[in-house]
Amino acid sequence: MIELCGAQHFEDTDIRHSAMEAATSLAAGLADDFCKVEGQPLLEQLIGMNVEWMLEVEEDVDAWTAQADADDDDELDGEQVEIGEENLDQLAERCAE
């Protein structure tokens, strides 16, 4: 799943989204194990992947500028940022318990 989450060569981003969702759900379901010292490297890797995913931006400057000019700030973030935020929130909630 980790490799699927990071694979940017897929034309369909839903594959990456599904892999990230599955990895996050797995980690949240196993929060007792992931939040222990032994499991923290795996948790850190998953968090890092989410952050990297959220940092991917539109590489076409004209397309990015057009989105900014549309005055829709939420649209600038895009679906990946929203998904990454939801994943990080889910992990934070489970690890805080």
Q: How confident is the model at residue 70 (pLDDT cuts 50, 70, 90)?
A: low
Q: What is the pLDDT of residues 44-68, one digit of tens each?
A: 888 888 888 777 766 677 776 776 6
Which pLDDT belongs to residue 71?
A: 60
DSSP 8-state secondary structure symbol assigned to residue 28: H
Residue 36 has phi, psi (to 5 degrees) of -80, 160
Contact 20, 83 (CB under 8 A): yes
Which pLDDT belongs to residue 40?
A: 85
pLDDT at 77 over 70: no
Task: Please state the domain extents for the chain.
Answer: 2-96
Instruction: State how far the Cα of 6 lies from the Cα of 10, in Å rounded to an integer.
Output: 10
Q: What is the pLDDT of residues 9-54, one digit of tens each?
A: 777 778 888 888 888 888 888 888 888 888 888 888 888 888 887 7
Supply the pTM of this predicted model.
0.67
Express the helix, strand and coil content of the chain in percent, nearest 5 each.
80, 0, 20
Residue 57 has phi, psi (to 5 degrees) of -125, 165
